[in-house]
Amino acid sequence: MKQEDRGWVVRILDQSGASEGDDDVVEEVKGFLDLAHANAFARAYVRDSIERCRVPGAADRDVLQSWFAFGENAEVVDAGEEGWKSSTELDDFVSSPATPMERDWRALDPRRLVSDDELAGPPDGDGQDEDDDDAFVTEIIRRRQQTPGKE
């Protein structure tokens, strides 16, 4: 079975060596839509980790040393040359602080993705017809308009 068939996995690695034994794996995040999604998550995760290691006034060298001592790295499992590697961007990451968007790995986390079925909501077999639903929405709007002190 090829990696694409199982879904991509990003492995989070503890840089501090504080993990028990020789295994520095903190966790494995599964369920990425494609390799680009896994790469973007890994990149943002490392970018955030570096920013958490940055202190005001620190030299680039100090930020990098702090990251190697206390930060977390991320790698896309079985991606080979196509997988994002932190080593290719570390110098850029430590020399220029990240924007909030660049470090927002949570927005890319597949564990937070919502399926189309969840977006659609529960099926209409709830025993109520659409007229009841419309009446409920109209009542909410009417009450908001009548709330004292609110325009």
Contact 12, 72 (CB under 8 A): yes
Flag whether 131 is in a domain: no
What range defines the domain where residue 10 resides?
3-122
* Number of structural domains the chain divides into: 1
Is residue 145 assigned to a domain? no
pTM above 0.85, yes or no: no
Residue 148 maps to a domain: no
Burial call 1-12: b when 16+ CB within 10 Å, e when fewer: eeeeeeebbbbb
Q: Is residue 37 included in any domain, yes or no? A: yes
pLDDT for 63-112, tens place per residue? 999 999 999 999 999 999 999 999 999 999 999 999 999 999 999 999 98
Please indicate, yes or no, if residue 134 is contained in any of the structural domains. no
In a domain, 108, yes or no: yes
Residue 52 lies in a domain: yes
Other beta carbons less than 10 A from residue 122's beta carbon: 8
Output the CA torsion 62→108→74→93 (10° steps): -30
CA–CA gap between residue 2 and residue 35 (Å, rounded): 13
Residue 49 falls within a domain, yes or no? yes
- The confidence score (pLDDT) of residue 144 equals 47
Which token pair is 118?
A: 């969840």
Residue 59's pLDDT band, with cuts at 50, 70 and 90, is very high
pLDDT, one tens digit per residue, over 6-49 is 689 999 999 887 655 557 888 999 999 999 999 999 999 999 99
